[in-house]
Amino acid sequence: MAYRSLNPFTERTVRTCDEHTAAEVEAKIAKADALFRSDWSRGPIKARLAVLEALAGLLTDNRDVLATAMAEEMGKPLAQGQGEIDLCAGIAAYYADKAAEFLKPQPYDTDLGEAWTEFHPIGVLLAVEPWNFPIYQLIRVVAPAIAVGNPVLFKHASIVPHCAALFEDLVMQAGAPDGCVTNLYISSDTVSELIGDDRIQGVALTGSEGAGSKVASRASEMLKKSTLELGGSDVFVVLDDADIEKAVAAGVEGRLSNAGQVCTGSKRFIVQKAVAEAFIDGFVEGMKSAVMGDPMDPETVLGPLSSEDALKDLTGQVEEALSHGAKALTGGKPSDRTGFFYEPTVLVDITPDNPAYYQEFFGPVAQVFVVDDDDAVVAQANDSHFGLGGSIFSGNIDRARKLASRIETGMVFVNSTTTSMPELPFGGIKRSGFGRELGDVGIKEFVNRKLVVISEGKAASTVG
């Protein structure tokens, strides 16, 4: 796909960017690889953490510039973009503060003598990232990589080239050496070629199942480590003892934030019968009354979808769901206005034979299921190909805790929507991918955990 910023609110092209030539790409890989072989990557962590600290400050200083670029390129309402940048600054600051401790050698008890693992960089990483959180998706990979000493080449989504360039520039302003973090305007075919390059040692992809499957198969063919953060169809469970007003407000926010284009957005609402009417009435009302409009207007809650293709895909999915027996309690079609807007939509009566039942709706479309008891909640929640996050709303924490451990996902939040914090490991199971980003776990996805043993001369047989 060609790199192009097209404002989804005005439907006008703002800029186009040429792809990097093969010679430019080669020069960028060579620079990144040279950095990996230098003292910067292998020497003391202090210099790398200073970059992260400076980057945290620069992200905060450039909050409005970055939030405006996101609004312009993919339609995120300004306040939501500003919130994203605050989180990104928090992630940079978190690793600046904690990485040295996470990467300290870890001792092991053994009869052989003294033993420990050290954490070393493995080489240049390739990050392939989506447009929905244009800066957060990058910082999740880049911040731990800088701390570890792995240079990163990134291929951002082709609809957010300006966000990609702004991010690269801020990392350089933070004092990173050449080759530390490099923006590539390249095609999917070039991604595949790069994974075959010996200088690239790992690939992290966030995006769709299709792209994840292609990139991970190529990585496994070339015997490279990969992590995948893919789609989700997160449950939002409302138990019969929940605070309904709180659940309604959270449900509307969880479904409409970023125009519903969030991997961990609340997508499947599973509501117990006793509170179904109260929840559904409030939820439909909340969805209907969301303020739709210009992402640059501070009052806007619901902006346009990111692109015309996104609008076409969602429209087709809902039409198919309705033609297979689903009913729309509100919405069900694109909004009749300029811009790629879709009406907030609530679907019920989705049976397992409806294609919608197992699909992710990447837009402001909620699926609602009414069930009886806690076992039915678990059965409905786990009847999904995805396993990213999920929420449970309940007034009884013990009950919610038990259910949380029975839901097959990488993350469950009680009495809040699924969210992301620098210190909390983020990731999923099943078709939502593998590996974790953020926290103490995320920083160790792309490291050489090198074992060193100082033998005290005790006998050991040779194995392996």
Residues that bind ligand NAP (CB under 6 A): 1, 128-132, 155-158, 188, 191, 206-208, 211, 214-215, 229-232, 263, 360, 362, 388, 433
Q: Shortest Cβ distance from residue 326 to ligand NAP (Å)?
A: 21
Please give the C-alpha separations between residue 116 and each of 49, 121, 454, in angstroms, as whole numbers.
23, 17, 9
Residue placing its CB nearer to ligand NAP in the complex, 148 or 205: 205
Q: Shortest Cβ distance from residue 241 to ligand NAP (Å)?
A: 31
Q: Shortest Cβ distance from residue 133 to ligand NAP (Å)?
A: 6
> For the stretch 26-35, what's the b/e string if a residue is b when 16 or more beta carbons lie within 10 angstroms of its beta carbon?
eebbebbbbb
Residue placing its CB nearer to ligand NAP in the complex, 188 or 351: 188
Closest to 226 measured CA to CA, from 143, 367, 127: 127
Q: Shortest Cβ distance from residue 248 to ligand NAP (Å)?
A: 24
Distance CA 421, CA 90 (A): 8
Residue 428, SS3?
Answer: coil
Helices (H), 120-265: 136-148, 161-173, 188-195, 209-221, 244-256
Residue placing its CB nearer to ligand NAP in the complex, 263 or 366: 263
Residue placing its CB nearer to ligand NAP in the complex, 394 or 432: 432
Residue placing its CB nearer to ligand NAP in the complex, 199 or 214: 214
Distance CA 53, CA 57 (A): 7
Q: Shortest Cβ distance from residue 53 to ligand NAP (Å)?
A: 25
Q: Shortest Cβ distance from residue 457 to ligand NAP (Å)?
A: 49
Distance CA 92, CA 140 (A): 9
Catalytic residues: 229, 263
Helices (H), 62-187: 63-74, 78-102, 136-148, 161-173
Residue placing its CB nearer to ligand NAP in the complex, 214 or 225: 214
- Residue count of the chain, please give it: 464
| Sign of the torsion angle spanned by Cα atoms 217, 223, 224, 227 | positive
Name the closest residue to ligand NAP (Cβ): 207
Q: What are phi and psi of 72, to 5 degrees?
A: -70, -35
Distance CA 57, CA 149 (A): 20
